[in-house]
Amino acid sequence: MSIEIKHVTKRYAGYTALDNISLNVDTGDLVALLGPSGCGKTTLLRIIAGLDTPDSGSIFLEERDTTGIPAREKNVGFVFQHYALFRHLNVFDNVAFGLRVRPSQTRPSKNEIRDRVVYLLKLVQMEWAVKRYPSQLSGGQRQRVALARALAVNPKVLLLDEPFSALDAKVRQELRRWLRKLHDDIHVTSIFVTHDQEEALELADRIVVINKGRIEQQGSPQEVYDHPANAFVYNFLGNVNVFHGRLRDGKVLVGDHLIEAGKRIGHHEAEHGQAFIRPHEIGISRIRSGKNDIVGFIRDIRLMGGQIGLELETAGFDKPIEAEIPRETWRNLELSRGDEVFITLDRATVFTGDYVI
């Protein structure tokens, strides 16, 4: 079931939640709407579900205009951030709800309902909890029941609104992988909303980055991560060092350091630019390896699992530079706090224009 969003605009008193958004989702895809809170991504999801109506624009499901159709007739599965299980119904009745409220002509028989519910609860590994009430389950378990409940009605599309953000880190990661696997098994077209770039990168087939009601970029996780279309996307998709400066021959002059641009995006005539570089793209060595190397001191060393985080102080920049190197490199270089190192920033991406973080 493909989803087509055409020129959707939604305004609330005082601000525009969605500004002329157009987006296509192919059948069977798992798409992430990624953006900071308040960027309009949840509003878009609710409009697709029919829980909100757009001021203008339309939503097509399988080439059929469903803009004015109420949520009840859309056959869209919706999973809420805070689960929204029916608190006075047990797990079985929660999952059976969507089948039981059907008019008698289309309602499955009691046995069919039971089989379907048991099948779904097995799918989400919750078959042991049929008699439990939502209050007796953990957050992760509740969300799995909520997912089974949404799938019970064979939805054409599955919409998930920050499904894991109320869970703790370990459960979140577990459920994320599990959802990816589930999606590979049942292949229902899905859109999920998240503000967590890691979640979007790990889970989605395609990522749509939204900011202030507009789409900043869309593409595969690799495309979006490796080739950010603009400074916002670059900044939002992970830790980054930003250097503001004047442009000179495609390079950025920050203080008296010249940062070579690996890539250049934006107007060529612009006077000011920013160089972006991710911590792991920074080269660290004991000896000078290029003419643009910067001398710095190690101010702090942090153990970050497999990586080592370095906080580097340099004479030319007012902010410390954050770098990440593999544990092995760190051991080979025998780095310790206060050491002098040479910093290579050649892989920086330079953005020009008036974008301000």
Partner 1 sequence: MQTGPNPDKTALRHRTGTSHQDPLAVRVILIFLTLLFFGGFVFLPLALVFAEGFRKGAAVYIESIREPYAIAALELTLTTAAIVVPLNAVFGVAAAWAVSKFTFRGKTFLVSLLDLPFAVSPVIAGLIFVLLLGSRTTLGSWLGEHGIKLIFSTPGIVIATLFVTFPFVARELIPLMESQGREEEEAAVTLGAKGWQVFSIVTLPNIRWGLLYGMILCMARSIGEFGAVSVVSGHIRGMTNTIPLHVEILYSEYNYAASFAVASILVFLALATIVVRSIMENALHNQQQTQF
Interacting residue ranges for partner 1, rule: CB under 8 A: 49-51, 70-78, 80, 82, 84-88, 97-98, 101-102, 133-135, 142, 146, 149-150, 152-153
Q: How far is the CB of 152 from partner 1 (least distance, A)?
A: 8
Compare residues 131 and 286 and give the one whose CB is closer to partner 1.
131
Q: Is the CB of residue 164 less than 8 Å from the CB of residue 141?
A: no
Compare residues 167 and 350 and give the one whose CB is closer to partner 1.
167
Compare residues 110 and 319 and give the one whose CB is closer to partner 1.
110
Measuring CA to CA, how many Å separate 89 from each of 86, 134, 160, 338?
6, 8, 22, 61
Q: DSSP assignment, residue 255? A: T
Q: How far is the CB of 38 from partner 1 (least distance, A)?
A: 18
Phi and psi torsions of 176, nearest 5°: -60, -50
Q: How far is the CB of 73 from partner 1 (least distance, A)?
A: 8
Query: Which amino acid belongs to residue 190?
Result: S
Compare residues 73 and 271 and give the one whose CB is closer to partner 1.
73
CA distance 134 to 97: 14
Q: How far is the CB of 90 from partner 1 (least distance, A)?
A: 12
Widest pairwise Cα distance in the chain: 79
Helix (H, G, I), strand (E, B) or coil at 112: helix
Q: Is the CB of residue 243 less than 8 Å from the CB of residue 256?
A: no
CA distance 212 to 208: 13
Compare residues 59 and 341 and give the one whose CB is closer to partner 1.
59
Compare residues 150 and 254 and give the one whose CB is closer to partner 1.
150
Q: How far is the CB of 142 from partner 1 (least distance, A)?
A: 8
6's tokens:
């055409």
CA distance 218 to 34: 10
Q: How far is the CB of 351 from partner 1 (least distance, A)?
A: 40
Partners of 212 in the beta sheet?
none
312's tokens:
């580097």
